[in-house]
């Protein structure tokens, strides 16, 4: 037997051992222990927020660390709703009423956004905060805010193009830009339809999902970041990226938004084409040769310096949460749940901030916008939000409960 064959056999055994260990860790993640750690970290975060607010009078929610210091954002920022949402998940996961009280306080800071018609990020801001709050408390005021926010968002719909406008900025670059992230805001429209009976909100969401499916995706089910529409004809002007490596590359968080978005569209419509689309996107992600063994992607699947490129824990958290839900609809349930377990296990083991550090953020090693060197290898509030959501979904599935 040659030395090369023996070495190869040892390598195969080692890889199998590591994979098995990761899988075992993921399946046995101590969710209760992680939640206790998250509570401890969030207590640190609340103290840090109080200190930051002494000098930042407009800041209402944490977003990231900037030069090692906590960065707060105003309610108009697209990330403002994630921390209130985290608090609602902590309340749900722990059962501790103090987190409900704190969540209500931070959620109230977002309410003025319900009439802000200058943004497509209404779902991120209002649904993550008020949506989770309503789901857990059935507060009638929260219901009113959700409906108003959805009506405000729906005004950004262009019936010729059949989509919701994303950005208002950079009008010299785009006529009517639509980003893949916008799939996440459809959840607000679906919820408001159920609460109000206003079917126009449902129709806007479905139209946007259909047009995005038609125009954002390549034959391999990877997604462009930005598709620019001509509002007079509905035709496509161009397909580009703003945060990915290149126009034809697969920006990792963009792929996660698509996976999550079409999974929720299937939940709300039961239209099989959305389930099939979600499974196709999942296949692109999970079968990609550049996806690391731990399931936490590089910031772009086509980044030129792999394996020496930054990871994106936020994309991983979104993917894991989406896969847990997808597993409840698909014939490939075991595959998707195992993949989600692996990602959550990896995030828990290797990406969490040590207790008492990082101003109370839960996860490290996310990437905001690599091309502009903004928020690279930093904690991000939305990574923490979707990590807690993934943990909550994992907990429910372990208990044999439905997710919704």
Say whether 257 counts as a known binding-site residue: yes
Structure-derived torsion over alpha carbons of residues 379, 381, 387, 391, reported in degrees to the nearest 10:
130
Q: Catalytic residues, which ones?
A: 121, 181
Tokens of residue 301, six digits: 């699947």
The C-alpha atoms of residue 287 and residue 301 are separated, in whole angstroms, by 11
- Residue 179, SS3? strand
Q: Which residue has the tokens 């063994």?
A: 293
Answer for the pair 263, 222: CB distance below 8 angstroms, yes or no.
Answer: no
In terms of Cα–Cα distance, which of 306, 327, 186 is closest to 252?
306
Say whether 181 counts as a known binding-site residue: yes
Say whether 121 counts as a known binding-site residue: yes
Q: Which residue has the tokens 């569209």?
A: 265
The C-alpha atoms of residue 131 and residue 188 are separated, in whole angstroms, by 8
Say whether 104 counts as a known binding-site residue: no
Say whether 241 counts as a known binding-site residue: yes
Q: What Cα–Cα distance (Å) separates residue 11 from each residue in 4, 17, 24, 256?
A: 10, 10, 20, 32
Buried b (16+ CB within 10 A) or exposed e, 125-162: bbbbbbbbbbeeeeeeebbbbbbbbbbbbbebbbeebb
The C-alpha atoms of residue 299 and residue 373 are separated, in whole angstroms, by 12
Residue list, annotated binding site: 121, 181, 241, 253, 257
Known binding-site residue numbers for substrate:
121, 181, 241, 253, 257
């Amino acid at each position: 037997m040659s030395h090369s064959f023996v070495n190869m056999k040892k390598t195969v055994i080692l890889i199998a051992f590591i994979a098995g260990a990761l899988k075992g860790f993921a399946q046995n993640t101590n969710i209760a222990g992680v939640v206790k750690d998250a509570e401890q970290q969030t207590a640190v975060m609340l103290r840090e927020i109080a200190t930051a607010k002494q000098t930042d009078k407009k800041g209402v929610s944490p977003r990231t660390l900037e030069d090692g210091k906590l960065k707060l954002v105003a309610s108009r920022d697209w990330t403002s709703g994630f921390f209130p949402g985290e608090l609602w998940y902590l309340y749900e996961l722990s059962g501790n009423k103090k987190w409900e009280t704190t969540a209500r306080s931070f959620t109230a800071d977002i309410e003025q956004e319900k009439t802000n018609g200058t943004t497509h990020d209404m779902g991120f801001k209002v649904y993550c905060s008020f949506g989770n709050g309503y789901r857990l408390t059935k507060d009638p005021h929260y219901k009113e805010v959700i409906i108003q926010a959805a009506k405000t968002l729906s005004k950004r719909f262009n019936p010729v193009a059949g989509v919701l406008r994303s950005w208002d900025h950079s009008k010299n670059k785009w006529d009517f830009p639509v980003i893949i992230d916008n799939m996440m805001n459809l959840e607000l429209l679906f919820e408001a339809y159920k609460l109000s009976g206003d079917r126009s909100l449902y129709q806007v969401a479905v139209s946007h999902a259909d047009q995005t499916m038609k125009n954002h995706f390549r034959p391999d089910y990877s997604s462009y970041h930005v598709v620019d529409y001509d509002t007079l004809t509905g035709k496509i002007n161009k397909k580009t990226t703003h945060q990915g490596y290149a126009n034809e590359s697969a920006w990792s968080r963009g792929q996660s938004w698509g996976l999550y978005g079409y999974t929720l569209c299937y939940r709300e419509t039961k239209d099989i084409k959305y389930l099939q689309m979600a499974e196709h996107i999942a296949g692109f992600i999970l079968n990609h040769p550049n996806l690391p063994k731990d399931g936490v992607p590089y910031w772009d699947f086509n980044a030129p310096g792999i394996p020496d490129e930054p990871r994106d824990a936020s994309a991983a958290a979104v993917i894991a949460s989406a896969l847990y839900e997808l597993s409840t609809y698909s014939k490939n349930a075991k595959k998707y749940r195992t993949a989600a377990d692996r990602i959550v296990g990896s995030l828990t083991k290797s990406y969490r901030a040590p207790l008492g550090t990082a101003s109370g953020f839960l996860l490290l090693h996310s990437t905001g916008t690599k091309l502009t060197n903004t928020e690279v290898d930093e904690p991000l509030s939305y990574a923490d939000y979707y990590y807690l959501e993934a943990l909550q979904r994992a907990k429910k599935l372990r208990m044999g409960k439905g997710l919704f």
